[in-house]
Amino acid sequence: MIARDPINPAPPLFADTPSHARYTAAMVSLRAPTAIRRLLAHEAAGGWLLIAAAVAALVIANSGFGAAFQHGLHHEFAGLSLLHWVNDGLMAIFFLYVGCEVKRELIDGELSTWPRRLLPGAAALGGMAVPALVYLLLNAGHPANARGWAIPTATDIAFALGVLALLGRRVPASLKLLLTAIAIIDDLGAIAIIAIVYTEGLDVGALAAAGGGLALLILFNRLKVASLTPYLLVGAGVWFAVLQSGIHATLAGVAIAFCIPLARTRGTPEDRETPLIRLEHALSPLVAFLIVPIFGLANAGVDLRGLGLAALAAPLPLGVIAGLVIGKPLGVFGAMAAMCRFGGADLPAGADWRQLGGIACLCGIGFTMSLFIAALAFGEGSPQDSAAKLGILAGSLLSALLGAAVLMRPRQR
């Protein structure tokens, strides 16, 4: 995902270090020449489309068409409601894309060595731990709400990059790469949380079938199969088995992605992209311009009629808002400051502490993954799910405005 143009490489994430020359040389490899540009363009444009979809969902939910729209989402097709097809089917493709990004970054990208993982890794961990603690503190007297502790731990990369796109050259490229790296590690943490916390009632037979499918995918990888078709066909079977197993079906997307070859396969021409890179590039516009906006349209609708400020002050939405707006910046910025002060990490090239603070605020835009976790935690359409959505929408909006305000201030000379 974070690749460089070998003719005009983008600035490194960490500059002015003793290993700068080695870092720059390492970046000029056989990665796809414009991957980072494609990613940032698709994510930023997709972020604005996601915002438009969320606004449309709110308008529909608060109009006379709201009840009919919700009824349509629960219409069953092939054994699942349309909402389940979106959340379990389309989002599995989203997680397949995320899995491709994560694998590529860990093996051949900005996160391929431990020194490069230090700053975004610490920021992501701090940005998950502190919001969870803030949420739990504000819901300490409400044990029924405790299941939603993971809701404010997520960062929506599309939404956040959409805000950065609006700011243009006020934000150096190194900070966009840093935000992307934080969000990717954040996604990996969210995947682990979903697998560990929100998985119940396992079907051993279906799980064994999914394991057999993954073993076949690994065999394809070992045999250096270059075509994506067998991976995707077997992957569809793995998704169905995981759906039946009790584990959330979207996790199948990540597992499938990790089985697809990133290295060149037998017979692959030197100028042809590897299977994983081909899949990632094919999925990028599909995810940004179709899947994520559809998810936002289906899940972001909250009926605000009759609600006042008291609704936002209830423990559950207040915990989400405080986790995103206060906990995220504190966790992300605090962890980065500690790494730069005590861990040997350097500031991103061309950035200052104020800009790092702005990026930390933008990490509070939870949206897509937060909505997804809320539905898993409380059940789609439940009163707690609606309260969590209210907090997610308010917290993400406040985080976007706060981050943009900090980053728009002129830099001190």
Question: pLDDT tens for residues 244-258?
Answer: 887 878 889 989 999
76 backbone dihedrals φ, ψ, rounded to 5° = -85, 140
pLDDT for the residue 148? 95
Looking at residues 329-348, what average pLDDT do you find?
Answer: 89
pLDDT at residue 227, as a whole number: 92
**Is residue 407 over pLDDT 70?**
yes
Q: Lowest mean pLDDT: which of 159-168, 326-335, 359-368? A: 159-168
Q: Is 141 helix (H, G, I), strand (E, B) or coil?
A: coil
- The pLDDT tens digits of the residues spanning 139-175 come to 998 999 999 999 999 888 777 877 877 777 778 877 8
Could you give the count of Cα atoms lying within 13 Å of 231 in the half-sphere of its Cβ? 26
**Looking at residue 42, what is its pLDDT?**
59
The mean pLDDT of the chain is: 82
Confidence at residue 122, expressed as pLDDT on a 0 to 100 scale: 93
Please give the pLDDT value at position 38. 55
**Tokens 């397949």 — which residue?**
96
* Percent with pLDDT over 90 in the chain: 38
Q: What is the model's pLDDT at position 367?
A: 85
Residue ranges of domains in the chain? 39-61+112-196+300-408
Residue 26 has pLDDT above 50, yes or no: no
The pLDDT of residue 294: 92
| Residue 56 or 413, more confident | 56
Burial class of residue 409, CB neighbours in 10 A (0-12, 13-18, 19+): exposed
* Domain 39-61+112-196+300-408 part of CATH 1.20.1530.10: yes
278 touches 35 (CB < 8 A): no
Of 14-23, 31-40, 242-251, 366-375, where does the model show the most confidence?
366-375
> So what's the pLDDT on residue 39?
52
> Does position 129 have pLDDT exceeding 90, yes or no?
yes
| Residue 228: band (very low, low, confident or very high) from pLDDT cuts 50, 70, 90 | very high
Q: Per mean pLDDT, which range of 63-67, 348-352, 353-357, 358-362 is the poorest?
A: 348-352
pLDDT digits (tens, 9 = 90+) for 274-317: 899 999 989 988 988 899 889 889 888 878 776 667 788 899 99
Would you say 275 and 231 are in contact if contact means Cβ atoms under 8 Å apart?
Answer: yes
Give dist(CA 46, CA 58) in Å, integer: 18
Q: Is the pLDDT of residue 234 over 90?
A: yes
- Residue 198 in this model has a pLDDT that exceeds 50: yes
Spatial CA neighbour of 348 closest among 177, 205, 112, 158:
177
At 411, the pLDDT band (50, 70, 90 cuts) reads: low
Q: Is the pLDDT of residue 31 over 80?
A: no
Tokens of 168: 């243009």
